[in-house]
Amino acid sequence: MKKYLLSLALIALLIGCSKPEPVYKPPTNEQITDYVYSNNLDLEDSIWTNDSAIILLNNSLITLYADQQGKIYDQKMSWGANSSDPVFVGDGSPFIAIIINENLLSSGADRILVTYTNGKSHSRGITGKKGYLIPNTETSEVDNIIILDNDGEELYRKRE
């Protein structure tokens, strides 16, 4: 009987000492700013998703999230430089990252038009920087991406 009670006490102690699963949440604006400055990053764009923040650089994407104690975690994804075509990262749900090359920028690229499989679209102005993150709160994926000049002329089209 003593062995049985000792075993139960040991199991209860082990269960009581186990760490709860961490709960991740998006970092605060201050945490993002600290991360960018402390890592000397040249930020192209950033957005928040449900449980993280996405930072876009010229050739990489960083996902930031925080635990209950405020500790910041990051996941990085990089890609090689491509000067002939824009670079697209993601399928549009919850975001798509678009890196525009110098050729399109010098051709007068003015606007990005993204059309989703559910028929909705999102338009975003090009401000001279190369990278743009376009969030999508729905589950639909990108169907079509068009880059237009300031006259509405199509400079680039990609169908998914």
* Residue ranges of domains in the chain: 19-78, 83-160
Residues, the chain: 160
| Terminal CA-CA length for the chain | 68
Assess contact for 71 and 28: CB atoms under 8 A: no
What share of the chain has pLDDT > 90, as a percent?
36
Place of tokens 């996941």: 75
State pLDDT tens for residues 55-65: 998 889 999 99
pLDDT at 18: 54
Q: For residue 80, which phi and psi values (nearest 5 degrees)? A: -80, 165
**Residues 90-147 pLDDT 10s:** 878 888 899 888 888 889 999 999 999 998 999 999 987 889 998 888 778 889 999 9
Please give the structure tokens belonging to residue 89: 């990262």
User: Taking 60 as the threshold, does the pLDDT of residue 36 lie above it?
Assistant: yes
Distance CA 60, CA 132 (A): 12
Query: 83-160: which CATH architecture?
Result: Sandwich (2.60)
